[in-house]
Amino acid sequence: MVGSPLLDDLRAALGDDAVLTDPDLLRMHQRDEADLCPAGTPLVVTRPRSTEQVVAVVRAAARHGVPVVPQGARTGLAGAANAVDGAVVLSTMAMDAIREIDPVSRIAVVQPGVVNATLAGAVAKHGLWYPPDPGSWESSTIGGNVSTNAGGMCCVKYGVTTEYVLGLEVVLASGEVLRTGRRTAKGVAGYDLTRLFVGSEGTLGVITEITVSLRPAPEESLTMVAVFGSTAAAGAAVADIAAQGLSPSLLELLDRTHLRAIEAYRPMGLRTDAQALLLAAADTGSRSADDLARLAEVCEAAGAEEVYAATDAVEAAALLQARRLAHPAMEKFAADAFPGGNGGLVIDDVAVPRGALAALLDGVARIAEECDVPIGVVGHAGDGNMHPNIVVDRADPASLERGRRAFDEIMRLGLDLGGTCTGEHGVGLLKRDWLAREIGPVGVRVHQAIKAALDPAGMLNPGKVL
Q: Give the separation between CA 86 and CA 14, rounded to whole angstroms.
A: 19
Q: How far apart are CA 207 and CA 141, in angstroms?
A: 12
B/e letters for 21-31, b = 16+ CB within 10 Å, e = fewer, are beeeebeebbb
Rounded to a whole number of angstroms, the minimum distance from the CB of residue 29 to a second copy is 23
Work out whether 248 is an interface residue with a second copy (CB under 8 A): no
**Helix 51-63 × helix 5-14 angle, to 10°:** 170
Tell which one of 1, 3, 24, 188 touches a second copy (CB under 8 A). 188
Q: In angstroms, what is the minimal distance from the CB of 206 to a second copy?
A: 14
Q: Does 398 bind a second copy (CB under 8 A)?
A: no
Q: Which stretch binds a second copy (CB under 8 A): 23-31, 155-163, 253-261, 327-335?
A: 155-163
Q: What angle do CA 358, 361, 366 make, to 5 degrees?
A: 125
Q: Rg of the chain's alpha carbons, rounded to an integer?
A: 22
Q: Does 410 bind a second copy (CB under 8 A)?
A: no
Give dist(CA 311, CA 113) in Å, integer.
Answer: 38
Nearest residue (CB) to a second copy, 393 versus 409: 409
What would the x/- binding string for a second copy be over residues 18 to 57, using CB under 8 A?
A: ----------------------------------------
Angle at 38 between CA 36 and CA 43, to 5 degrees: 150
Q: Do residues 25 and 38 make contact, with C-beta atoms less than 8 angstroms apart? A: no
Pick between residue 52 and residue 370 the one whose CB is nearest to a second copy. Answer: 52
Which position among 196, 293, 318, 359 is part of the footprint of a second copy (CB under 8 A)?
196
460-to-11, 69, 114, 116, 417 alpha-carbon distances in Å: 20, 6, 22, 24, 34
From the list 21-29, 115-123, 185-193, 314-322, the region that binds a second copy by CB under 8 A is 185-193
Q: Are residues 422 and 465 in contact, defined by beta-carbon separation less than 8 angstroms? A: no
Cβ-based neighbours of 395, under 8 Å, separated by 6 or more:
338, 339, 340, 342
Residue numbers 214-233 binding a second copy by CB under 8 A: 216-217
Residues 6+ apart with CB under 8 A from 239: 354, 355, 357, 358
Query: 66 or 292: whose CB is closer to a second copy?
Result: 292
The C-alpha atoms of residue 447 and residue 466 are separated, in whole angstroms, by 8
Question: Which of 182, 294, 405, 412 touches a second copy (CB under 8 A)?
Answer: 182
| Of positions 5, 15, 38, 285, contacts a second copy by CB under 8 A | 285
The residue range among 12-20, 49-57, 310-318, 427-435 that interacts with a second copy, by the rule CB under 8 A, is 427-435
DSSP string, 112-130: TT-BHHHHHHHHHTTTEE-
Q: Is 246 in the site for a second copy (CB under 8 A)?
A: yes
Asked whether 461 and 423 are in contact (CB, 8 A), the reply is: no
* From 26-34, 46-54, 154-162, 388-396, span contacting a second copy (CB under 8 A): 154-162
362 binds a second copy (CB under 8 A): no
- Using CB under 8 A, which of 435, 459, 460, 461 touches a second copy? 435
397 close to 404: Cβ distance less than 8 angstroms: no
The answer to whether residue 141 forms part of the interface with a second copy (CB under 8 A) is: no
d(CA 200, CA 219): 33
Q: Which C-beta is closer to a second copy: that of 1 or that of 104?
A: 104
CA gap 291, 249 in Å, rounded:
10
Tell whether residue 457 is a contact of a second copy (CB under 8 A).
no
- Interface pick for a second copy out of 155, 212, 233, 298 (rule CB under 8 A): 155
Is 179 a residue that touches a second copy (CB under 8 A)? Answer: yes
Q: Which of residues 91-120 bind a second copy (CB under 8 A)?
A: 102-107
Considering the complex, state which of residue 56 and residue 274 has its C-beta at the smaller distance from a second copy: 56
125 lies in the binding site for a second copy (CB under 8 A): no
- Of 52-60, 111-119, 152-160, 225-233, the segment contacting a second copy by CB under 8 A is 152-160
